[in-house]
């Protein structure tokens, strides 16, 4: 018998002073059986960083041809493609060809550094590609906020992020690699 996804509900209040975006989102996140809680919470953080009414979680780990999040236009074209982790060059090329903008968020600092050293110089030709590194402690810190039903506040200003609940607050400063 196959394992089923674990469902999380998040009420996410976003104040993004950089983009002048202020909105509440009632989100449902499905945690794939092979996904860690850290990765699930990083998906939530990345949603907050790119929040838009049409930004959506995809089937993610369950589908090889979809990113973790995307923003599709009414014409079904992909405006923004967002992947987490360390995708291979072929996947990145495909994403850059299909979407107007592609974002990759790495979060395992040690292996991300090795991945970036191996692949970074091959990706210079993609003008629509953005690679952002999250500090190694981001995932474990975010995992402390995880609950099956959670209410979180996220503030973004000057490319710095504060996310938390009524008890804990986490400060995240993404590092732009490309």
Residue 1 domain-assigned (yes or no):
no
The CA–CA distances, whole Å, from 131 to 101, 111, 134, 165, 176 equal 11, 15, 10, 28, 6
Residue 33 domain-assigned (yes or no):
yes
136-151 residue pLDDT tens:
889 899 999 999 999 9
Expressed as residue numbers, the domain containing 63 is 6-176
33-71 residue pLDDT tens:
888 999 999 999 999 999 999 999 887 655 567 899 999
Residue 34 domain-assigned (yes or no):
yes
Tell whether the model's pLDDT for residue 1 goes beyond 70: no
Q: What is the CATH number of the domain that holds 45?
A: 3.10.640.10
Is 149 or 108 the better-scoring residue by pLDDT? Answer: 149
Residue 170's CB: how many other CB atoms inside 10 A? Answer: 20
DSSP per position, 82-128 = EEES---HHHHHHHHHHEEEEEEEE--HHHHHHHHHHHGGGGTT-TT
How far apart CA 11 and CA 144 sit, in angstroms, is 16
Give the N- to C-terminal CA distance of the chain in Å, as an integer. Answer: 42
Residue 20 domain-assigned (yes or no):
yes
Burial 146-158 (b: 16+ CB within 10 A, else e): beeebebbbbbee
Give CA torsion, residues 86, 89, 92, 94, to 10 deg.
-140
Please report the pLDDT score of residue 60 as a whole number.
61
Tell whether the model's pLDDT for residue 9 goes beyond 60: yes
Please report the pLDDT score of residue 15 as a whole number.
96
pTM reported for the whole predicted model: 0.90
Query: How many domains, in total, are found in the chain?
Result: 1
């Amino acid at each position: 018998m196959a394992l089923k996804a674990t469902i999380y509900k998040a009420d996410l209040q976003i104040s993004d002073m950089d983009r002048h975006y202020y909105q509440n989102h009632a989100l449902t996140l499905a945690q794939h059986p092979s996904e860690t809680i850290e990765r699930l919470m990083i998906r939530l953080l990345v949603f907050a960083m790119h929040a838009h009414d049409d930004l959506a979680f995809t089937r993610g780990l369950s589908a090889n041809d979809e990113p973790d999040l995307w923003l599709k236009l009414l014409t079904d074209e992909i405006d923004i493609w967002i992947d987490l982790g360390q995708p291979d060059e072929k996947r990145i090329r495909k994403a850059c060809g299909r979407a107007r903008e592609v974002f990759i968020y790495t979060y395992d600092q040690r292996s991300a550094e090795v991945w970036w050293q191996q692949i970074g110089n091959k990706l210079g030709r993609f003008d629509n590609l953005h690679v952002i590194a999250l500090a190694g402690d981001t995932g474990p810190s975010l995992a402390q906020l995880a609950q099956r039903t959670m209410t979180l506040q996220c503030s973004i200003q000057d490319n710095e992020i504060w996310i938390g609940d009524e008890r804990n607050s986490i400060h995240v400063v993404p590092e732009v690699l490309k």
